[in-house]
Amino acid sequence: MITKILIANRGEIACRIIRTARKMGIATVAVYSEADADALHVEKADEAVLIGPAPASESYLRIDAILDAAKRTGADAIHPGYGFLSENPDFVERVNKAGLIFIGPSAKAIRAMGLKDAAKALMEKANVPVVPGYHGEAQELVVLAGKANEIGFPVLIKARAGGGGKGMRKVERQEDFPAALSSARREAKASFGDDRVLVEKYVATPRHIEIQVFGDSHGNVVHLFERDCSAQRRHQKVIEEAPAPDMPEDMREAMGAAAVQAAKAINYSGAGTVEFIVDASEGLMADKFWFMEMNTRLQVEHPVTELITGLDLVEWQIRVAAGEPLPLAQDQLSINGHAVEARIYAEDAEKGFLPAVGRLMHLQFPEGDIRVDAGVRAGDEITPFYDPMIAKVIAHGTTRAEALGKLAGALGRTEIAGTVTNTAFLIRLCRDADFAAGRLDTGLIDRNIASLTERVTAPEAIAALAVLAASGMVGSGTEPPASVASIGPFEIWGAPRRMVSLEIDGQSRGFTVEREAASDWRVAGEGLGAGDMHLKVVRRTGDDWSFSADGVSKRCRLVQNGTEVAVFHEGLTYRFVKPRGTRSDDLAAGGDQVVSMMPGIVKQVLVSEGQEVKSGEPMVIMEAMKMEMTLAAPRDGVVAEVLVSTGAQVADGVSLVRLTAEADAA
Yes or no: say if 501 and 579 are a contact pair by the CB < 8 Å rule.
yes
Separation between Cα atoms, residue 357 and residue 550, nearest integer Å? 37
φ, ψ dihedrals at 188, nearest 5° = -65, -40
Q: What end-to-end distance do the CA atoms of the chain give, in Å? A: 78
Distance CA 480, CA 417 (A): 26
Kind and range of the H or E run holding 292: strand 289-295
Q: How far apart are CA 449 and CA 124, in angstroms?
A: 37
DSSP structure class, residue 466: H
Considering only CA atoms, which of 303, 394, 391 is closest in space to residue 340? 394
Compute the distance between CA of residue 381 and CA of residue 39 in angstroms, rounded to an integer. Answer: 9
**Could you count the other beta carbons within 10 Å of the beta carbon of residue 128?**
22
Torsion of CA 483, 484, 487, 492, to 10 degrees: 100
Catalytic residue list contains 297: yes
Q: How far is CA 228 from CA 209, 282, 284, 342, 567, in A?
A: 5, 17, 12, 12, 34
Strands 155-159 and 133-134: unpaired
Maximum Cα interatomic distance, the chain, rounded to a whole number of Å: 89
**Environment class of 496 (CB within 10 Å of its CB; exposed 0-12, middle 13-18, buried 19+):** buried
Q: Which of 10, 297, 400, 515 is catalytic?
A: 297
Residue 388 preceded by cis peptide, ω within 30: no
Give the contacts of 291 (CB within 8 A, at least 6 positions apart). 119, 120, 123, 128, 129, 130, 131, 258, 262, 274, 275, 276
Q: How many residues does the chain have?
A: 666
| Integer Rg of the chain from CA | 27
Contact yes or no for 199/264 (Cβ under 8 A): no
Closest CA to 407 of 370, 437, 453, 433: 370
CB 102 within 8 A of CB 321: yes
Residues with catalytic annotation?
297
